[in-house]
Amino acid sequence: MCACKQGIVMVRPHGFGLNAQTATDNHFQPQQKELADIASASELALKEFDTFQAALVKLGVRVHVLDDDPTLDIPDSVFPNNWFTTHEDGTVVLYPMKAVNRRLERMPDLQQRLQGLGYRVSRVLDLSPHEQEGRILEGTGSMVFDYTHGIAYAAISQRTDKALFEECCAALKMTPVSFHAYQTVEGTRVPIYHTNVMLSVGEQFAVVCLASIDDGAEREQLLSSLKDSGKQVIEISEEQVALFCGNVLQLVATQSEVEPAKRQHVLAMSTTAFKGFTEDQKETLMKWNTLLHTELHTIETLGGGSARCMLAEVMLPIANPPS
């Protein structure tokens, strides 16, 4: 299966800014006092969003842009991958979010919007009520899917409940692989808030920070699963994780005029991540991908997320495919 079958959804943010509710466990976000004199964050984020979206379209990636609700206080709306996923059997999953203001990002009319874009939705699996019990699972922030082999990977944290992860995998008929990943903050090992900053799985490769997994058995289990599914493992350091080298996503240029089997893969990332990869790593990634990068400094600095977090894959079937 293609890395991203149909296209992606991006949400254009109209009130982007530092979200104090997520900064408690997202250590990629700086302290608010350090940002007191940063002006026009929302305007800068919009420019970064538009540049990134245009670059994706130029390379033939199908991008559906949805606007957020400017009347709501949703500073992280640019990261839609956390609250919904779509699947090739027509399933849409809605996820429970840890931060109260992030729960407002969920669009009540998402099913109608996706159907209006020409996709078939046959089932909505709403896991969001679990957030009232403190059971959190934040979409493809919490989980990294290997769609081809039916495997879901998850680093357990405050935002990724292990039992709910396994229940979700059972509902989606995917094999769960869980582990614990950490980063060092002021000399202390703390859980990495989302799996997708230390792991990215493409068709032919996996970018992973094995050093973030302190437990040897868990590290070996993850490595074995990646290798057994045919991935070439590209190992990144904890320093590269901080540069968002793990927060990349392989896409397919579905808008290309060439036949599907020959359409190019696009590996989307920020300029920060691009500069963070070594030349050897970039050469390896370019064996299968065109590397696309744009500047996302404001979104990364204030939001604590990067390119992958901005992209929600559309795996749904087309409602009326040509005969």
Q: What is the DSSP string of 239-272?
A: HHHHTTTT--EEEE-TT-SS-GGGPPEEEEEEHH
245-304 pLDDT, tens digit per residue, is: 999 999 999 876 555 555 689 999 999 999 999 999 999 999 999 999 999 999 999 898
Rounded Cα gap, residues 153 and 155, in angstroms: 7
Give me the mean pLDDT over the 76-95 stretch: 97
The alpha-helical segments, DSSP class H, found in the chain are 41-58, 110-116, 139-142, 162-172, 216-228, 238-242, 271-276, 279-285, 297-303
pLDDT band with cut points at 50, 70 and 90 for residue 320: confident
For the entire predicted model, the pTM comes to: 0.92
**pLDDT at 139 (0 to 100):** 98
Q: How many CA atoms lie within 13 A of 222 on its CB side?
A: 29
Identify which of 266, 268, 259, 254 has the alpha carbon closest to the alpha carbon of residue 308. Answer: 268
Longest dimension (CA), the chain: 60
CB-based burial of residue 260 (10 Å sphere; 0-12 exposed, 13-18 middle, 19+ buried)? exposed
**pLDDT at 32 (0 to 100):** 47
- Phi/psi-derived region of residue 186, left when phi > 0, alpha when psi is between -120 and 50, beta in every other case: left
Q: Across-strand partners of 38?
A: none
Q: What token pair was written down for 1?
A: 């299966």
pLDDT band with cut points at 50, 70 and 90 for residue 62: very high
The percentage of residues in the chain with a pLDDT greater than 70, rounded to a whole number, is 88
Q: Which residue has the tokens 């390896």?
A: 284
Please name the residues in contact with 120: beta carbons below 8 A apart, sequence gap of 6 or more.
90, 316, 317, 318, 319
